[in-house]
Structure 1
Amino acid sequence: MTSLFGKKPSGGGKSADDSRPGKSDRGDVTTSLEFTHVGDIGRSLAAAAGKIQVLEVSVEDVAAIEEAAVLYANANDSGAKEVLEEALDSASKSSDRLWRMLFDLYRLMGDRPSFEARGVVFAELFEKSPPIWDEATPVAVAPAAPKDAAPAVNLSGNLSGNARPQFEQLVRIGAKMGKLRIDLSRLRGVDEAGATLLSDTLDALRRAKVKVALLGARQAFSLLEPQLKVGEPQGRVFWLCALAMLQQLGEQAPFEDMAVNFAVTFEESPPSWDPPEILQPSPTDTGGITPKAEEGPVLKDGFVMDGVVAGGQPEVLRKLAVYGSERNAIEIDASKLKRLEFVSAGALFNQLATFQTQGKLNVIHHPNEMVAALMRVMGIDQVAQIEHKKF
């Protein structure tokens, strides 16, 4: 699910992208993103602030970094590569982080010729030696996402309203990509605040002219409909959200009937029929969770996350919860983690946020730069210290 987010701890290191829009405090949500209340975010990280490596990033590079991170998380390696290369080629001297990401992406793709060619350019620009090629195992994908694939967010459980900062970031990512897929088919409940959040999010996406594939709108409507009592002026947000679902479904006649009932019940003008531009699901769309999650073995010196981690609640995160339950410091070795899928990053944020509320320190060691970038987009860097490998 789903930069997805929050305010930087005051004691930690800062970079230029820390102040970008969408950053605010965390909240509770029981969707597959599994975000929970973080409490004092800076409590654990402040003690270790001096160990955080600060990488300067220009404002101009932030958009490319975030877009490439999301594309890579959604198994669109070629799209991520194109974004990074274009960003570097269009600037005389781009940020260190942008170069780190591209070199690591070349390694992950097994593209040594491009790695070495870009290394020559790097040496000329910075007058220092480029990184050395090491044989990173190319990441397995199944199947590769098309270049124009939409970022995917899958929601399940009970939707509450305390995840507004996270959903605001979804709007931001959607606006950047021009498209977004949201799957509501596994929702089991929507409270009043959750209905407000969902309705506001769809309105914001519409204003940003984002194409949305809203899967499971029928399921969401079935959860909202019992709350609609004609002649009883309560639960107004349920009505608005239900009307938004009918707009997404393209069902004008039921929409207009409900709009009349809304006007009668609340004695105000209802929303007008104005269906959004809908992104049609791809025939090959399988929900964005096709790679199998690889298990992370628990070692004496730390918890290892490796391979491809995908899905809202992969087994590796269950093992992480067990590992961290008996420790005050959670050390995660991510040096062999090839890819962290978008929704899995939300679930990882949730688990680390839970540890932090318990006063524990989270440290993620040496993720590749593509994964590290996604962790920043998803706000994981605000609930864990990320130690980069040497460049």
Structure 2
Amino acid sequence: MSRDIVKTRPPVLSKMDAPKRADVSRGQTKYDLAQHTQPLDRRSAVGVDFQTTLPMSMPTDYLLGHYSEMSGSAVAYSESVPVLEEAAILFASGQTEVAEQMLSGAIHHQKLSTAEEIAWQMLFDLYRITQNQHMFESLSLDYANKFETSPPLWPETTIFANTDTRSDTDSGTPSIVFPAKLDAGIVKALEKMHLLSAKSQSLKLDFSRIEVVNPIGCGLLLRSLKNLKKTGHDLLLVGAQELAEKIRSILQVGRRDETEAPWLLLLEVLQLLHSERAFEEASMDYCITFEVSPPSFEAPKVNVTSSFPEIHIPEDDEFQDRFMMPAFIEGKVEPLIKQIVAKAEVLNPLVLDCSKLERVEFSASAELLNGLAPIAGKRGMTIEFRDVNYLVMMLFNAMGLKNIASITLRKH
């Protein structure tokens, strides 16, 4: 179930109402809700310098490049609720547990007025997306007791895909998407990769989300890649070249670290990419650093291909009147923007169907705003985000996308 978006004002808490303060950026479980009634400092929330993006207070006519006659109905949520916006930004930044704690604290401890329903629905969406049915059902009981009405139901066939594994809709190849940090936390993804490898001879390994690597994660991934080579699996690698560059960034010729794993993973990835020249250069650096004989290049005996991150958008007749957004918007958004621009040439109003959209990465939302602003600036052009989940809606509200498009919530 859902309600239409309504205007709300940020709540004002007394000192007696405010829980104890803690540092949200450190992922602690307690926080001072009163601080979120002040204007949100997004740089402190996610560690991103917003000088590289458009200012949040930028007026609509500046975004569009001229005076805009956009009516108020195009703004889905015109007044901010800082605590909910920050929770949406944390979720978009991959800090799911902190976002969950913040939303749970908001619905139980803060007076949100008419935004209260939105907070509950954001938490329901979070549990759906993270596949946490137990917490979803527990929240449903609380919801029914509080509002004396039926809560949202856990979908029999969950429309939200798992954030770590997906299927290639074109080829049916099972796909494993690695998280932003290549560290001990990839164990879950590797376990799923092991299960999928037992069912399919071909796998798609998507490294495009990886931003940070450390020796432990390198060692875990190295072991898994070697096992896949032994079992003769065909591989489609996405973002492997970028992964190699990130591994290089933590290496230094002549410096012996506690483990050789990052060096060996770099060499393994370069072999999988058929990059013999780059392999030989890295091999010599490895030889100098550890005073060993340089390993020789061995071309993969299995079928290994690589590609850049792509966003699959269905193009069948069913979607001629709208543009179907992908389940995830993350990483490089330029290919998606190009497809939207092409659709805008033949479709007005430009309806962006978000019924399958689960999560928009924080940095990607800023790029999406930059990409859509010129489209919205065309005379007579209107943009509508349709069937948006509550977490994405609140992120769009915080990032200013409400200023260039209308936002319609998904019906639960």
**CA–CA separation in structure 2 for the residues paired with 1:53 and 1:313:** 23
**CA–CA separation in structure 1 for the residues paired with 2:332 and 2:66:** 23
The residue that corresponds to 1:80 in the other structure is: 99
| 1:80 partner letter | A
Pairing 1:346–2:339 present = no
| 2:152 partner letter | P
Offset, 1:114: 0.7
Offset, 1:293: 5.2
Residues 70/16 of structure 1: CA separation in 2 closer, same or farther (3 Å cut): same
Structure 2 runs not aligned, ≥5 long = 11-37, 41-55, 165-176, 182-210, 212-307
Higher relative contact order (CA 8 A, sep 6+): 1
The residue that corresponds to 2:312 in the other structure is: 295
The residue that corresponds to 1:385 in the other structure is: 406
Residue 151 of structure 2 aligns to a residue whose secondary structure is: coil
Offset, 1:26: 5.2
Residues 107/292 of structure 1: CA separation in 2 closer, same or farther (3 Å cut): farther
Mapping of 1:168-179 within 5 angstroms?
A: none
Residues 363/114 of structure 1: CA separation in 2 closer, same or farther (3 Å cut): same
Offset, 1:353: 1.7
Does the aligned pair in 2 maintain the 1:139–1:338 contact within 8 Å?
Answer: no
- Of the three residues 106, 114, 132, the one matched with 2:153 is 132
**CA–CA separation in structure 1 for the residues paired with 2:345 and 2:389:** 26
Offset, 1:367: 1.4
Residues 83/300 of structure 1: CA separation in 2 closer, same or farther (3 Å cut): same
**CA–CA separation in structure 2 for the residues paired with 1:127 and 1:103:** 17
Question: Cα deviations across residues 330-355 of structure 1 (Å, max 9, x unaligned)?
Answer: 00101101211122211221232212
**CA–CA separation in structure 1 for the residues paired with 2:365 and 2:58:** 18
Offset, 1:319: 0.3
- Of the three residues 66, 74, 80, the one matched with 1:39 is 66
- Of the three residues 123, 130, 140, the one matched with 2:144 is 123
Residue 363 of structure 1 aligns to a residue whose secondary structure is: strand
Residues 390/312 of structure 1: CA separation in 2 closer, same or farther (3 Å cut): same
Mapping of 1:21-40 within 5 angstroms?
A: 23-25=57-59, 37-40=64-67
Residues 111/292 of structure 1: CA separation in 2 closer, same or farther (3 Å cut): farther
Pairing 1:328–2:348 present = yes
Question: Cα deviations across residues 193-242 of structure 1 (Å, max 9, x unaligned)?
Answer: xxxxxxxxxxxxxxxxxxxxxxxxxxxxxxxxxxxxxxxxxxxxxxxxxx
Larger radius of gyration: 2
| 2:9 partner letter | A
**CA–CA separation in structure 1 for the residues paired with 2:61 and 2:410:** 31
Residues 376/54 of structure 1: CA separation in 2 closer, same or farther (3 Å cut): closer
Structure 1 runs not aligned, ≥5 long = 1-11, 29-35, 147-180, 182-290
Residue 325 of structure 2 aligns to a residue whose secondary structure is: strand
Report the aligned-residue RMSD: 3.3
Does the aligned pair in 2 maintain the 1:139–1:308 contact within 8 Å?
Answer: no
Residue 355 of structure 2 aligns to a residue whose secondary structure is: strand
Residues 318/379 of structure 1: CA separation in 2 closer, same or farther (3 Å cut): same
Pairing 1:371–2:373 present = no
| 1:23 partner letter | S
Does the aligned pair in 2 maintain the 1:112–1:133 contact within 8 Å?
Answer: yes
| 2:67 partner letter | D
Question: Cα deviations across residues 265-320 of structure 1 (Å, max 9, x unaligned)?
Answer: xxxxxxxxxxxxxxxxxxxxxxxxxx955333342121001221113533111100
Offset, 1:72: 1.4
Mapping of 1:213-224 within 5 angstroms?
A: none
- Of the three residues 338, 354, 366, the one matched with 1:318 is 338
| 2:358 partner letter | K
Residue 335 of structure 1 aligns to a residue whose secondary structure is: coil
Does the aligned pair in 1 maintain the 2:64–2:376 contact within 8 Å?
Answer: no
**CA–CA separation in structure 2 for the residues paired with 1:293 and 1:371:** 21
**CA–CA separation in structure 2 for the residues paired with 1:74 and 1:37:** 27
Identity rate of aligned residues, in percent?
25
Offset, 1:93: 6.9
